[in-house]
Amino acid sequence: MVTKKIIYLLTFLLVIPSVYVSRGQDKGTPVYDEKHEATVRLVLVDVIATDNKGNFINDLHIEDFLIFEDGEKVAINSMDLINFNMTGILYPERKYIEKKTIPVQMKRKNRFFIVFDSLNTIRRVLNRSKDRILEKLIELVKAGGEIMVFEITEEGNAQILQTLTSDEALITQAINKASGSIWVEKTRDDLNVPKIWFEDEYRNLVNKYRIAELLRENREKVLPIKAQFEYMNRMRFEKSLSGLLSIMNMIKAYPGRKPLLLISGGFPSLSLDKYFPAGIYSTVGHSDLNAAKIDDPFRVLGKNRQRYGEDIFENLIQFANSHNITFYTMDPDIYLRHVFSDMTFDSFFNIAEYSDIKQDELSKLKILSAETGGFTLQGANKYNQFQKLLESDLQSYYELSYYPKRKKADGKYHKIEVKVKRPGIKIRHRQGYYDYTDEQETSLLFASASANPGLFRAISFRAQAVPFITNKDKYRLWINMALPVKDLILGGNPNTYFKILKMNIRVDNENGEHAFNAQLDIPIKLSKSQRTKFKNARFYGYNTCSNELKLKKARYKIIFSLYDEETHRLGTVEQTMSVPASGELRPGEVVCAVFGYLMETRNRGRSFSLSGKDGSLLVDKLKFHPLATNQFYRDRIYLFLQVYSENNRSHLKPHFELTNGDVFQGNLEGRIVKEAWNKKANIRNLIIQLNFLKFNPGEYFLNIKMGDETLSEAPSRRIKIRLI
């Protein structure tokens, strides 16, 4: 879907309190010009038209085409012939305002995206194919194209090996980095174990029914084998598709048709019962396995915030079609039916069975390419097919457009069918598109960022989550962020008076299991007076907190994803959070330490409680505003501590010393401003005033000990700080 926005000017009153920098409110209520946006919706359909020999047909007119959406004919708005032979500057954005009766050739840079699926491709097979792959890609570069290279690693992470370039040396280096996997075949090793047990029956193949009967009789031995095989396939399935979704989110904003070559040994199938005799069903196969999912904390792929089952693959195809991404898939292996040159025949007593698995995995590649308007490169002739790809699909295509009848996005998938009136012409095009709402688009982007945060670094910001203890083994996540003012807050339209940033916070335990997810909007007032304040600030502080959570694991992985809708940029921050276990704490152990500033407030709050409104810590008629970074000026700063204490009369006092590395720099005096004991959690809450004026600016370590005068056995906490 392509959208065109029209700006209207009206008048309105804007009165919103400042969130954080000075925490003050502007005096008065200035009047501004309000900006209303009207969206003109347009659907683009890219069509490859060839004769029976695969040669591109370049003389079609708009009258030669018919377009149907959901079976109903729609009026074609425009047609352009995109020709990549016309190298030069990028084409200007075209205004779709009238029909054209003849093809209008447009200059457009030829971009080609490569994805190496190292998770599902055997390393030695990939390595011996790299030279041929590189040879074909260099031909594309010499014709004036640019190439971007990605990899889905063995661990399931998506990463960029090379940004868009036409430099042959850089492309060569990127392709050589793609690793492939040494563990692909291991996932099938579990299938061989029963064959080892019943070697004679398998080798002789005298009675296949007897083999099945033996497996059923030994169900208790076979089920764990099957469960392991299914589990590994599920993991590969989830990671593969999550990686693809992330990569597609990275490239979707490029204009026009986006050809993507996926080099893969195939995607694992989740329909695995046929590889075992009837009656051999595992618990994994019918519950855990069928719950195979792609992280989707939104409402696009499923009503329950996750989409279950293998039909998730269909949603990936719909996403590709919605963003004009065309898949060309290549299996680097060379195989014939039932003959696999890389298999060790001594370990496979039934090669036909492995062939069935391989065919299932390769069928995913064929479906992916066919449904998105591309084709599959497999077998011994795949490089000849690659040459045809260079000569037809990557040289020219027709870009048709039409207006959908819906005025607003409905969040549903709509089928597209294109017909050509002239006989003897074959056409390929995307089969439909998902009319995503803005909410769905943002959520898809957050899902990709959570799965592969390393791909999304367009915004540099700071964030941390602190486990704030509320009760025994119960916590609230105290979330503190520092957003760059110059690049982010003031980096957009200078005439904008109000800005909303979107944030997603994803928390998984150390086993990769989902623990917490939240999306929130960060409203920012940009009045003239507020902009003046921002000019003197490096960061904009924003704080919030979660509801009470029961965190049972010692370590959690947190991914913060920040999206700026105005500039369409997304940034991520990764954090590993340690959670203190109450049963392992020693008296005087510091379990939470946060720097911040203390301000007076008119209203009295519950002592040492987190505010759900602004994320501050309420202490009587004071508010403690936390910092997202341990970087501050040397004068008065406050430190909030949570210390394990089994009673309210602890004789342990805070002691502070500063070191530069291991070199002692001096002691600090700390004045306790407020303190209280949480009886339910056995936690002593303290706010302490510190002063670093006698120390020079620079990086230090602050060592905190809670103990008596001797400090002999007092547990300590070490925090890295930067004085400015």
Residue 278: pLDDT band (50, 70, 90) is very low
pLDDT at 177: 92
Amino acid type, 662: D
Q: What whole-number distance in Å separates Cα of residue 433 and Cα of residue 307?
A: 18
**Is residue 428 a contact partner of residue 48, using CB atoms and an 8 Å limit?**
yes
The verdict on 509 and 653 lying in the same domain is: no
Q: What is the tens place of the pLDDT at every residue in 338-353?
A: 344 444 434 443 445 5
107-163 confidence digits (pLDDT tens): 556 789 999 999 999 888 899 889 988 988 888 888 778 999 999 998 888 999 999
pLDDT(33) > 50: no
Contact between 258 and 324 (Cβ < 8 Å): yes
The pLDDT of residue 271 is above 80: no
> Does residue 321 lie in a domain region?
yes
355, two tokens? 């062939």
Is 26 contained in some domain? no
Q: Per residue in 566-611, pLDDT tens?
A: 888 999 999 999 988 777 888 888 999 999 999 988 877 778 999 9
| CB contact at 8 A, 126 and 118 | yes
Give percent of the chain above pLDDT 70: 75
Task: For residue range 201-256, list pLDDT tens digits in order.
Answer: 555 555 555 555 666 666 666 666 667 777 777 788 888 888 898 899 889 988 88
Residue 23 belongs to some domain of the structure:
no
pLDDT number for residue 214: 62
Task: Based on the fold, state whether residues 603 and 479 are members of the same structural domain.
Answer: no
Closest alpha carbon to 43 in 441, 397, 405: 405
Please check whether residues 118 and 138 belong to one and the same domain.
Answer: yes
In a domain, 94, yes or no: no
Average confidence (pLDDT) over 375-403: 84
Residue 500 and residue 515 in one domain:
yes
Q: How many domains does the chain have?
A: 3
Residue 67 lies in a domain: no
> Which range of residues forms the domain containing residue 472?
457-579
- Decide if pLDDT at 51 tops 80: yes
Is residue 381 domain-resident?
no
Identify the pLDDT of residue 370.
92
Candidate from 286-290, 372-376, 612-616, 717-721 with smallest mean pLDDT = 286-290
Last-in-domain residue among 341, 375, 409: 375
287, pLDDT greater than 60 = no
> Which pLDDT score, from 0 to 100, does residue 510 have?
83
Within 266-321, strands assigned E span: none
Whether residue 557 is found in the same domain as residue 641: no
**Sheet with 145-152: strands ordered across:** 158-165, 145-152, 110-117, 258-263, 325-330, 376-377
CB 413 within 8 A of CB 429: no
pLDDT at 207: 53
Same domain, 586 and 487: no
493 in any annotated domain:
yes
Cβ neighbors of 613 (< 8 A, separation 6 or more) are: none
For residue 359, what pLDDT band results from cuts at 50, 70 and 90? confident
Q: How far is CA 52 from CA 46, 249, 426, 508, in A?
A: 19, 35, 7, 53
Asked if residue 127 and residue 224 are part of one domain, the reply reads: yes
**555 versus 223: which is more confidently predicted?**
555
State the angle between helix axes of 382-391 and 123-142 in degrees (0 to 180), rounded to the nearest 10: 20
Q: In terms of domains, do 183 and 303 share one?
A: yes
Domain of residue 573, CATH code = 2.60.40.10
Predicted confidence at residue 418, as pLDDT, reads 97
Query: For residue 262, with 0-12 CB atoms within 10 Å meaning exposed, 13-18 middle and 19 or more buried, which class applies?
Result: buried
Q: At what angle do helices 219-251 and 208-217 cross, to 10 degrees?
A: 100
Q: What is the mean pLDDT of the chain?
A: 79
Cα atoms in the Cβ-side hemisphere of radius 13 Å centred on 213:
5
User: pLDDT tens-digit profile of 444-487?
Assistant: 889 888 888 988 999 999 999 999 999 988 999 999 999 999 99
The 3-class SS string of 80-146 reads EEEECCCCCCCCCCCCCCCCCCCCEEECCCEEEEEEEECCCCEHHHHHHHHHHHHHHHHHHHHCCEE
Domain end residue (candidates: 579, 613, 630): 579
Among 174-178, 551-555, 682-686, 720-724, the range scoring the smallest mean pLDDT is 551-555
Alpha-carbon gap, residue 497 to 416, rounded angstroms: 40
Residue 84 lies in a domain: no
CB 67 within 8 A of CB 421: no
Higher pLDDT, 628 or 202: 628
Q: 569 with 611, same domain?
A: no
Categorize the per-residue pLDDT at 437 as very low, low, confident or very high, splitting at 50, 70 and 90: confident
Q: Bridge-partner residues for 636, per DSSP? A: none
pLDDT of 98 higher than 50: no
What is the 3-state secondary structure of 530-595?
HHHHHCCCCEEEEEEEEEEECCCCCEEEEEEEEEECCCCEEEEEEEEEECCCHHHCCCCCEEEEEE
pLDDT band at 713 (very low <50, low <70, confident <90, very high): low
pLDDT for 293 equals 47
Say which residues have a Cβ less than 8 Å from residue 508's Cβ, sequence separation at least 6: 514, 515, 556, 557
Nearest to 399 by CA among 327, 326, 330, 329: 326
Do 598 and 465 share a structural domain?
Answer: no
Distances (CA, A) of 348 to 190, 191, 196: 11, 9, 10
The pLDDT of residue 218: 63
Beta-sheet strands, E only, within 156-308: 158-165, 258-263
How are beta strands 145-152 and 110-117 bridged, if at all? Answer: parallel
The last residue of a domain, from among 315, 350, 375: 375
**Facing residues of 258 across strands?**
325
Residues 652 and 541 in one domain: no
Distance from C-alpha of 335 to C-alpha of 343, rounded to nearest angstrom: 11
pLDDT in tens, 534-550: 888 888 999 999 999 88
What's the pLDDT at 601?
85
208 shares a domain with 178: yes
Do residues 103 and 80 make contact, with C-beta atoms less than 8 angstroms apart?
yes
Structure tokens at 207: 């009675």
